Structure 1
Amino acid sequence: MASVILGRPRTPRAAKEPPVTDVRLARRQLLVDGVPTLVVAGEIHYFRLRREHWRGRLELLRTAGADTVATYVPWVVHERADGTLDLTGRTDPTLDLGAFLDLAAELGLQALVRPGPFVMAEMAGEGVPDRVRREHPEVVPVGWGGATAPTGDLDYLAPAFLAETRRWYAAVGEVVGPRTAPNGGPVIAVQLDNEIGMLAWVSGSPQLTADACVGLRDWLAERYGDGLVARYPGLPDACDPAALADAVRRPREGWATALRLDLGRFSRERFATYVDALEEAAESAGMGGVPFLINVHGTTGGSGASFPIGLSQLALTFPGHAQRAAGSDHYLGDLTLATAGDLHLMNAHLAALSDDEQPATSLEHEAGHADYGDDLAARTDPSAVVLKTRLSLAQGHRLLNFYLFAGGTNFVADPPRSDGTTRFGITGERHGFAAPVGPEGQRGPSFDSTAEAMRVAARLAPWLADADEEHDDLALALVLDDYLTEYPVPGSDDDAHAVAELAHARGGGPRGLLPRVLLTLGYRYGAVDLARDGDLPRTVVLGSPVAADAAVQARLATHVRGGGSLLLLGSLPTTELDGTPCTILSDALGVRVVGEVRDRPGWFTSVTSTWGHGTERRVGRAQLYEAEGAQVVLAEAMSGTPCGLALEAGAGRAVVLGCDWGADLGLFTTALTWLGAAPGLVREAIPGLITLTTRAADGSRLLHALNVGGSPVSTSITLDGVALWEGAPLTLQARTGVALPIGVRVSGHSLTATAEIESVDGWLDGREDGWVDRGVAILAGPGRAWLDGTEVEVVRDEDAGSGAPSFRVPLGPAR
């Protein structure tokens, strides 16, 4: 009997197996030697480990189930006190990057290299040597009021900084270049810088060096032409750079909102120019021929609501570049109903901004127990990393880097530091105490759950590496300009109000409600970037602030009047983002905004509903309407004035909910049904239950079901009009997930089962009349199975060695 693998296998690369030679992005897939692949990586910082400990940590990574090691390459550590760069271990054996990569290859691991120049990672100077700031003080940006940046930020486009970065990349390239996949090495991807724009965002301090201010003045002149004087009366000319810089850093009150918006758009272009320069430097240093990755920051305080700020900043850095891909960087802690809605929307937004060639990745996929303060205040449930992994895989992620996989040591800095710590890291001697593998190499409380997450990815890879997430004809709209709020103008009450209004309703709408409601109702939704060309889905769902760009309003108006449908939660826009009156959308819908009621001392704004529960509900604010012929859905309780409408406009329909309405599932079900948005997957609406489907290139489909709640759930499911499993209910225990085959192609058959596929194996059975292909699908647990539409027996076998049973589905001859 000769053993073979039937179906669509994916096995870890053996230590002695020849290395890959070609890695590229195509059709939203990651192709490794032409084969669609899921990459499962874990971050290990070689520079935080004694060299003799490298092998043990890498072996633990292999044991956990990863096929790739990721690591920062920190400039601040490799640049020594004498100004030389050591990446070969000349001064310290822990700095031999090549030896680390070679050891990874020896152990059968690929590598993802992240050379900065910024690395963050709790490093002194954010990973950039202090010498750069000391020798080139002009690269240290100033912000509002001429104040020096309060972070370690630097002017990305300062000539001196770019020159220093090219020197750094050249040194890294001498080691990494010969070890890239096209050269037979383990390096399959290179990340360009890290969390670009994050430092300016978190501090609210833009990069306003003199050169940047001159560049901004030129950009404004090109964008507004003769209208520049009206937009910025009194703005000095670029021929007086000192006066210009002072005017930009201390803007007049009348400029504030316009300057915040324009500065954000201008910075997008600067970031894109910077990334182009980094790619050129990387290729010149020999690190080309593999995909370049862009790390998108944006989560804060355990919420993903601000993630599109990072997307907005980097919106021009990866679209249009076929061999660049963007990756999320998320720290959400536990996956709850709230954070699951955030993560799902983050993933959808990332996909909406990516081109057809670019797969989604997660370059810092939060692992560990999240007690980053080492104070027992924030330990997450071990199931969180598994649930996050399942959700991201179901949404098309092709690379997950579990960060941080192994902790280590912040060694004494060389050169010595003078900023309160003797170490090159800012967390003390021990670093990564929340990681699955602790600083001393011990398996931490999250090791097993991280390993389970990695095994899930490997197990599902045969049917996910080339699969697409299936969507209903509905999408949540992404309006990137709603997130041009990273540089609020200090001291401007008008601009502070404008920023607060945007933050109130953008993205998921007031309270971030929309993604949670759609997931609860079973909708399989994606996102659509309203600034990009292309067809819109039939139903657009929008969290809408009171301000919206004229082009966005016009596109939505055209969509509805042309036969599409719109569900809007928040406010009908009455102005453009800069405050200029603009009612394109409301005019197209035949609605007039006549006022607004808000909470105030002694007043509790309430609204009554004719849909859903049909009761009075407390809200924080309500926008009031007049609209002839519209159906009143919501009304302000005291006056009876409409604040929610269902209306027809042209050939389409719209539902406008002009308040911060709550999770009235009945109302939203009625609204979406009236708009013609029918879910293709029908089940009971259960908060905490998420159901998605994927379809691979050969037609294989998986039903992904996650229960992020604390209680078991059970529901029957109908998909595309057919009751799954002959109407039997799906039951999920608390905080668990599955990816069930619903027509998976294995060994020439179509397999459907109520348990996840653990593996597929097969053999060649010798008979008198010749050799016959036979195979078996191993299920992860007991259940029912259907082969080519006919129910077949699931065979339970007891494993004499482990005592654990296995559940086998004989597949019969291949077809």
Structure 2
Amino acid sequence: MIEIIDKEIRIDGRPELILCGEIHYYRLRRDEWQDRLDKLKLAGCNAVASYVPWLCHEEREGEIDLRGAKRPEYDLAGFIDLCRDNGLYFFLRPGPFIMAEMKNEGLPYWLYERYPEIVPVGWDGRPATTKTVDYLAPAFLKAARRWYEAVMAVAVPRLQPNGGNVIAIQLDNEIGMLSWVSNGPDLTPLVLDDFARWLTEVYPAESLAERYPFDLGEPAVRTAAIRSPREAYAPALHLDLGHYMRGRFARYVDALRGFAEEFGARGVPFAVNIHGTGGGRGFTFPIGISQLYETYEGKPGFLSGSDIYFGDLDMNTFQDLYLINGFMDAMHGEHQPLASMEFNCGDGNFGETLGARYDVSAADFKLRMCVAQGNRLVNYYLFCGGRNGLLDHGRDDGNGRAAFTGERHGFAAPIGPEGEPNYTFPRMARGIRAMMAVADKVAVMREERDAVAFAFIPDYYMTEYRYAGSEAMRRMYANLEANRAHSGWETMARAMLLAGYRFGAADIQNKPLRAAEVPVLALLSASYMDEALQRKLADYLMEGGNVLLYGEVPQYDMEARPCTILSDCLGLRFAAEHRDGPDYYPSVVAEGWAAPRPEVRTHFAQTFEAVRGAEPFFRLQGSGQACGFDCAVGRGRAIVMTARYRTDIGLFRDALERLGAKAGLTHDCPEHGLFLTSTRSADGERFLHLLNLDGFDKTLRLYDRGEALFEGRELTIAAKDGVMLPVGVKAAGATILASTAEIMEIGEAHLAFRLTQAQDWIALETARRIAPSEAYKVERRGAAQRIVSLRHAKVEDELIVRFEA
């Protein structure tokens, strides 16, 4: 039985960490399967994941082959069974959409040919530019149901509750992504009819008539007015269409789950894959959360998982991944854990140009951060490459294959198409083995948090569809995109993490916002914000909440109507916007508690007049107009920064401390470039997670709420290295009080460590006798014993501590 309880994945009652590798059985010869599974086990993974390509298994309607009758490599049942025989769990991903560089995104050609009405029409009646469909079109659902019937006939006898190894089923893949990237909403007649019905349920008739000055009941009029909206109602349509599509996606996922359960799939979680990273960054990822959170939020038996395509995790990107995990967690129910359904690994050579070369730390760093933040399932995508077979009934499209990448596929994977590991494999495997050595512990640990949460506003990312002919929408989109991520992530979020803050996120749009639960809120704010949300923030401040606002103080609601509730609460009256130009170079000067600081050049500032209770601390050079305020509001306080500023770690630390949030886990390294956090179990076991994001060694001391850790000893974190150091961890009949070395294996009579220092030490408390060794010496320290390594980590980094029988 697989259960999702208390942010854990429990298999037969036991919490587990699931680390998968994606292996596409259909892209390998059957006699290659075992070799790739052997390499997966060598890496330390305990599960296999694979898509099931409808395009390949049912080239002709009604001729479904999932048993390898036509091609041995199409034997899905045989592959799952081989994974079982190797002691590996299986994560089933049957689509209908799978993407995976497959033609038609994995859907059969006959589906489009027989049912052309499923292909969406978008803005101005233009046909879809991507291979998407109307998910709820009856013809598509009927065909998808039959596909699920065939797949479940193979999967259900192999589900873990039925004695098999299938532990999860993903429903479709990256739902809504194709419409987003093409800015092409699904505006088929079926959708428009359903949308009109939804509008009549949401709005009273009188309000609806004012909102949309056309006859929603007349199909021809409605179609023209929605596909080509006028400026007067374009913002309202954008808002309504976004909210409606969230519910539509949820109905689609419910339908797929219904098909799976109808054909016997029960007792395993259903997964939803969230898309959105692009260009090696995470700025657009929350668009996927915004689109899909209604499909899974708080629903029993659901997992949501990220699509992580970052490449290197470095000083540019580390805050992106941290925020993505936080935002996902904010949208989960109380029991739903974090997961990653596609976790980018390999060397980045996607175009087979030997370019975009990733550092060996890439997959290791991302895994360490994700596990520290509570990811319980991670699927390495793509673990191994393979080949795209020829279709039996292919098209004259240049190659006749099932995918558009040519014959070879997955050249960037850690295991290439021919089965050879590339240079990234050893480091990736080392990180996996470190996690799996303590999997039972990290599977239940929670990240320790400081008294601050990062605000998440889903509607700020509800920008997947914008009517290009609307100037109002162009202005709103530009403002939202400028304030919801980029500068704010790289300034405030990065500064907070470098200052040592460990924080989650809060869905302030949909969930209650209470000072007792969120003492301090870090808020990226645009000039647009929903009226109800502005009121919620004002109430939060009046009741004793504290806000660090970076960006702009809203002046409009989400339909571009004037709305200054939050601004009025803060005691600020809008004055002007200042943007740099060819002959204008605005600069910010600090005063009050923010001084002394050097003048800082800015490219944008929003200035205000203080009406009451607001003390300026930023002004524009020359004009003296204020763009930073410390505001007393009711029983709360707000520090407001409305000029683009530099990543001033000290400034953001000072601001948060003034609001009542102090970083608990800190270091004294002046070069920065370090990410650190900590996790704890209910019985007090802890791990300290450290990443050195730079290409040079760093020496530091660690402090926990001001108290020096490791007896004040300096630690050196090697260039591009990550460590997970145990504190109070029980293992092999001992308690590891503290260790500068990382646990790599726990046996009945031994502990294996990865050394990280010139001279590591491990403090143990145990009644067992430690066996002597030439590799270490043992010192008695009261009730504890200290094992001091006699090996230098850069010469030989493995140390095995044995216990006598």
Determine whether 1:785 maps to 2:762. yes
What is the identity, as a one-letter code, of the residue corresponding to 2:213?
P
| Pairwise CA distance, 1:809 | 5.5
| Pairwise CA distance, 1:66 | 0.9
Q: Aligned in 2, Cα 1:812/1:674: closer, same or farther, shift over 3 Å?
A: farther
Partner of 1:71: 50
The answer to whether the 8 Å contact 2:743/2:751 transfers is no
Counterpart-to-counterpart distance in 2, 1:372 and 1:642: 48
The answer to whether the 8 Å contact 1:760/1:778 transfers is no
Counterpart-to-counterpart distance in 2, 1:97 and 1:500: 47
**2:132 partner SS:** coil
The more displaced of 804-813 and 438-447 is 804-813
| 1:584-634 deviation digits (Å, cap 9, x = unpaired) | 111112111122111233212221122165222111111111113422111
The answer to whether the 8 Å contact 1:81/1:414 transfers is no
Counterpart-to-counterpart distance in 2, 1:662 and 1:796: 43
The answer to whether the 8 Å contact 1:567/1:656 transfers is yes
Partner of 2:634: 650
Paired residue for 2:799, among 765, 789, 807? 807
**1:337 partner SS:** coil
Q: TM-score, normalised by structure 1?
A: 0.92
Paired residue for 1:630, among 590, 597, 614? 614
Partner of 1:10: none
Counterpart-to-counterpart distance in 2, 1:721 and 1:322: 41
Counterpart-to-counterpart distance in 2, 1:797 and 1:603: 62
Determine whether 1:703 maps to 2:700. no
Determine whether 1:173 maps to 2:152. yes
| Pairwise CA distance, 1:696 | 1.3
List alignment gaps of at least 5 residues for structure 2. 766-780
The answer to whether the 8 Å contact 2:548/2:639 transfers is yes
Partner of 1:359: 337
Determine whether 1:527 maps to 2:505. yes
The size of the alignment, in residue pairs, is: 776
Runs of 4 or more above 6 Å deviation: 810-813
**1:237 partner SS:** coil
What is the identity, as a one-letter code, of the residue corresponding to 2:713?
A
The answer to whether the 8 Å contact 1:797/1:806 transfers is no
| Pairwise CA distance, 1:716 | 1.5
Partner of 1:752: 738
| 1:419-473 deviation digits (Å, cap 9, x = unpaired) | 4431100101110000011111111222222222321221231320100011101
Counterpart-to-counterpart distance in 1, 2:630 and 2:362: 39
Partner of 1:564: 545
**1:208 partner SS:** coil
The more displaced of 193-202 and 524-533 is 524-533
Q: Aligned in 2, Cα 1:78/1:69: closer, same or farther, shift over 3 Å?
A: same
Q: Relative contact order: is structure 1 or structure 2 higher (C-alpha 8 Å, sep ≥ 6)?
A: 1
| Pairwise CA distance, 1:221 | 2.2
The answer to whether the 8 Å contact 1:575/1:583 transfers is yes
Paired residue for 1:43, among 16, 22, 46? 22
Q: Aligned in 2, Cα 1:248/1:753: closer, same or farther, shift over 3 Å?
A: same
1:107-118 map, 5 Å: 107-118=86-97
**1:316 partner SS:** helix
**1:310 partner SS:** helix
| 1:619-671 deviation digits (Å, cap 9, x = unpaired) | 11111111134221111112101110012111111100012111122221221
1:400-799 map, 5 Å: 400-507=378-485, 510=488, 512-530=490-508, 531-533=510-512, 535=514, 536-610=517-591, 611=594, 614-627=597-610, 628-684=612-668, 686-746=671-731, 747=733, 749=735, 751-763=737-749, 778=753, 780-781=755-756, 782-787=759-764, 792-794=785-787, 796=789
Paired residue for 1:386, among 345, 364, 373? 364
| Pairwise CA distance, 1:214 | 1.3
Counterpart-to-counterpart distance in 2, 1:306 and 1:804: 43
Counterpart-to-counterpart distance in 2, 1:463 and 1:797: 29
| Pairwise CA distance, 1:341 | 0.7
| Pairwise CA distance, 1:762 | 3.4
**1:427 partner SS:** coil
1:237-386 map, 5 Å: 237-238=216-217, 240-386=218-364
The answer to whether the 8 Å contact 1:511/1:660 transfers is no
**2:4 partner SS:** strand
Counterpart-to-counterpart distance in 2, 1:744 and 1:55: 36
Q: Share of identical aligned residues, percent? A: 43
Counterpart-to-counterpart distance in 1, 2:212 and 2:797: 74
| 1:457-503 deviation digits (Å, cap 9, x = unpaired) | 21231320100011101011000000111001112222111101001
| 1:335-362 deviation digits (Å, cap 9, x = unpaired) | 1112111001101111111111111111
Partner of 2:208: 228
What is the identity, as a one-letter code, of the residue corresponding to 1:639?
S
What is the identity, as a one-letter code, of the residue corresponding to 1:294?
V
Q: Aligned in 2, Cα 1:811/1:521: closer, same or farther, shift over 3 Å?
A: farther
What is the identity, as a one-letter code, of the residue corresponding to 2:799?
F
The answer to whether the 8 Å contact 2:90/2:166 transfers is yes
The more displaced of 213-222 and 186-195 is 213-222
The answer to whether the 8 Å contact 1:508/1:542 transfers is no
| 1:554-601 deviation digits (Å, cap 9, x = unpaired) | 222122221121000000011111111111111112111122111233
Counterpart-to-counterpart distance in 1, 2:399 and 2:202: 47
What is the identity, as a one-letter code, of the residue corresponding to 1:785?
I
What is the identity, as a one-letter code, of the residue corresponding to 2:739?
A
| Pairwise CA distance, 1:697 | 2.6
What is the identity, as a one-letter code, of the residue corresponding to 1:643?
C
Counterpart-to-counterpart distance in 1, 2:61 and 2:123: 36
The answer to whether the 8 Å contact 1:23/1:290 transfers is yes
The answer to whether the 8 Å contact 2:450/2:503 transfers is yes
Q: Aligned in 2, Cα 1:453/1:124: closer, same or farther, shift over 3 Å?
A: same
| Pairwise CA distance, 1:753 | 1.3
What is the identity, as a one-letter code, of the residue corresponding to 1:637?
Q
| 1:166-198 deviation digits (Å, cap 9, x = unpaired) | 000000011111111011111011001000110
| Pairwise CA distance, 1:330 | 1.2
Counterpart-to-counterpart distance in 1, 2:385 and 2:701: 44
Counterpart-to-counterpart distance in 1, 2:652 and 2:464: 32
